[in-house]
Structure 1
Amino acid sequence: MLLGVVLTVLCLPFLWWYFFLQKFKSLSAIPGPRPLPLIGNALDVGDTPTALFNNCAKLLDQYGDIFKVFIANECKVFIANADFLEEIMTSNVHITKSNGYYLLKPFLNFGLLTSSGSKWKRRRKLITPTFHFKILDQFLDIFNASSDILVKKLFNEVGKESTDVCPYIHLFSLDVICETAMGVKISSQEGKNSEYVNSLIHYFDIFIVRFFSAWRRFDFLFKFAPEYPIQEKYLETLQKFSTSVIKKRRLEKSQEVVETTSDLGIKRRVALLDLLLESDDLTNDDIKEEINTFMFEGHDTTASGVTFALLALAENPEVQQKVYDEVLAVVGDETYVSMQHLQDTKYLEMVIKEVQRKYGAVPFVERQLEMDATIRGVHFPRGTTLNLYLYGVHHNEKYFPEPEKFDPDRFLPHRQSERHNYAFVPFSAGPRNCVGQKFAMLAMKVIIIKILKTFKIIQVPDHKPQLGMAAVLKSYNGVRIRLIRRDTD
């Protein structure tokens, strides 16, 4: 009797595994590595950001631009094919994010990034106008001021054999995002508000740990993990900061003092928070969801884009010189980078787009199918996770020959028109594209212009970034360059 019970208990997981695989039998035509019982393809994918990055690239080479893996209780189909991406991204049905995003719920709750259905549609409709061109124009003062502080900090690195620019760019990005989102200067580049800054940075370190740990993904088990009380401490700091800013701003608005900042009647710059406060439909908690979401999505992606842009310019001095010549022609000796300057730096925009192609800040986005779906003749069962492998499509030779070559001319108008519209999607596309993509482009342009006007960027021999991907693409051994002052080179 006891033996029978034991055998039954031992067999149950394997029985579950059999029926789990049967559920996705319609995907048998999609290639992929053979899964092992219960653990699936966990060994093929890896358990660190760098392993995930390298292994997915190998699987792409081995199986082509659509392949599948089984991880724990998920069937993930990686898609680096522009035709499939177009059909998925333009759908108004397949918009639900995958389970991995819900690991961010303690901080983001259900903001624009993590929500779905009618709530997402309402929030999207409300937030999209906040990134209107006229609003972005008001952010230029912030971009310029924060960039000037960064340039001053980088003077300390002039003449050194190498400098890891990641910490500098990260703090710059935090300053920019916090002031544009909440209207608050945290001055992280000058060492202020260190508790909030450290909490934000280290909270996402814990998110990465959970992302790659099967048992930590379960909330009830994670409470027993050593990281749990640390996460709760960080969350308390983050939520307290956001709550206090929202309450203060709402009070100012009710007292009608938000319109001016001086006796001269100079109009206060509008932050994302101010625009959200104008909606009668949003509670303080609703607003906090969106502010925290913008902080999360904005600071890491902007920092990633700028650091890899500096790396690319160091590795390609002829491109750097061409950008510098354009900056001199357009901006000249002016110290303030205006909207007209940004519109006229066409080659710099091509360079940034090539950075976004080769080193896209968001390597993938995931959707969870809530119903059976047939996409380009392939039947995907309900529950399939579609991994929209943006890094993969950007390195697909079908769309970008010699994908490892850094070539901004790929984005000349005539070459873009010859390419599939969904071959280059650094901010996703369709209904769930990133609302902040214009913001990111403008911020990157300002800081790159400021840095190039002041420094020549030199490649560090033998420095090879160790790329890894989870929430964003990062180099886990830093991004090292040399800086030389232009007035002394």
Structure 2
Amino acid sequence: NKQGRRQSTISLSTGSGEPISLSMPASGERRLAFMDLLLKHHINGGELSEEDIREEVDTFMFEGHDTTAMAMSWIIYLLGHNMEVQDRLALEVDSLFDDLHSEMRNESNSSSTTEITLDAIKQLKYLDCVVKEGLRLCPSVPLIGRSATEDMTISGHVVPAGTVIYCFIYQLHRDPEIFPDPEVFNPDRFLPENSGGRHPFAFVPFSAGPRNCIGQKFALAELKIVLARLIRHYRFVSLDQP
């Protein structure tokens, strides 16, 4: 029902090239969603251009959704190929939530459903290692670009200011001097005793420095919560197993 809605002039291109018509609800109709707020700033005063809104939508669709979905898929794939890792992870998840469930029942003297919260997730140390190792082997963003702000010399090669320099994260994460047997899925690499002296830029699935991914903490929390829920109820087996 389009009654009471004002149509915007913005169209977003899809993969097929077809435009998507967007509209904004009339004032007071309902609480504004994020897209509504973007449209409001475009229609009322033009603070955001159409290009600004397209870029924000791309950020949410690709940086905020697609990358996390890819990471989830690859981690599940790796767990399906490494049952010993999956079993160890399941033991950690089950042990924690069985204990929490028992505590809740004792406190309330009734059956309770244990929610997977951020506080609970922080206790799953091996899950953290599994996620990091998955992102090491299969980073959702395999390369990042930076522009040189001044002339510099790298390994005898002069790099003029303004040159775009790409960092190939996929290859960086496979440096055998830092990650022995780099093609092996081994979450133990990220245990504190094994990663304490590692260079902070040796593992950069979310980039690094002041321009790193602003959604890093949210993405990691999302990955861990969903994986914990899945491992709590399912086991994954690769069909590629010999």
1:32 aligns with none
Alpha-carbon deviation of 1:421?
A: 0.7
Matches within 5 A, 1:447-486: 447-461=226-240
Kept after mapping to 1: 8 A contact 2:71/2:139: yes
Cα separation, 1, equivalents of 2:64 and 2:201:
23
Partner secondary structure for residue 458 of structure 1: coil
Q: 1:275 to 1:324 in 2, by over 3 A?
A: farther
**What do residues 265-319 of structure 1 show as CA deviations (whole Å, max 9, x unaligned)?**
xxxxxx6558878989942633443233221212221111011111111111111
Kept after mapping to 2: 8 A contact 1:276/1:282: no
1:320 aligns with 86
**Equivalent of 1:360, from 117, 139, 145?**
139
Q: 1:419 to 1:370 in 2, by over 3 A?
A: closer
Structure 2 counterpart of 1:283, which letter?
Answer: L
1:304 aligns with 70
2:48 aligns with 283
Corresponding position: 1:407 with 2:186: yes
The number of residue pairs the alignment matches comes to 213
Alpha-carbon deviation of 1:450?
A: 1.8
1:397 aligns with 176
Matches within 5 A, 1:179-194: none
Kept after mapping to 2: 8 A contact 1:313/1:319: yes
Q: TM-score, normalised by structure 2?
A: 0.75
Corresponding position: 1:419 with 2:198: yes
**Equivalent of 2:31, from 258, 267, 270?**
258
Corresponding position: 1:329 with 2:108: no
The sequence identity of aligned pairs, in percent, is 38
**Equivalent of 1:429, from 208, 215, 226?**
208
Partner secondary structure for residue 145 of structure 2: strand
Higher relative contact order (CA 8 A, sep 6+): 1
Partner secondary structure for residue 391 of structure 1: helix
**Equivalent of 2:126, from 341, 347, 351?**
347
**What do residues 104-151 of structure 1 show as CA deviations (whole Å, max 9, x unaligned)?**
xxxxxxxxxxxxxxxxxxxxxxxxxxxxxxxxxxxxxxxxxxxxxxxx
Structure 1 counterpart of 2:48, which letter?
Answer: T
**What do residues 364-413 of structure 1 show as CA deviations (whole Å, max 9, x unaligned)?**
11234465334576420245431201011100112111101111111112
Cα separation, 2, equivalents of 1:277 and 1:418:
48
- After TM superposition, the runs of 4+ consecutive aligned structure 1 residues lying more than 4 A away are 271-282, 375-378
The structure with the greater share of residues assigned to helix is 1
Q: TM-score, normalised by structure 1?
A: 0.39
Q: 1:290 to 1:441 in 2, by over 3 A?
A: same
Q: 1:368 to 1:414 in 2, by over 3 A?
A: same
Partner secondary structure for residue 166 of structure 2: strand
**Equivalent of 1:439, from 218, 233, 238?**
218
Q: 1:284 to 1:257 in 2, by over 3 A?
A: farther
Partner secondary structure for residue 158 of structure 2: strand
The structure with the greater share of residues assigned to strand is 2
2:107 aligns with none
Listed as ranges, the gaps of 5+ residues in structure 1 are 1-198, 204-229, 260-270, 464-489
Cα separation, 2, equivalents of 1:257 and 1:439:
27
Alpha-carbon deviation of 1:330?
A: 2.2
Cα separation, 2, equivalents of 1:338 and 1:368:
40
What is the Cα-based RMSD across aligned positions, in Å? 3.0
Q: 1:282 to 1:339 in 2, by over 3 A?
A: farther
1:41 aligns with none
Kept after mapping to 2: 8 A contact 1:371/1:382: yes
Listed as ranges, the gaps of 5+ residues in structure 2 are 1-12, 102-112
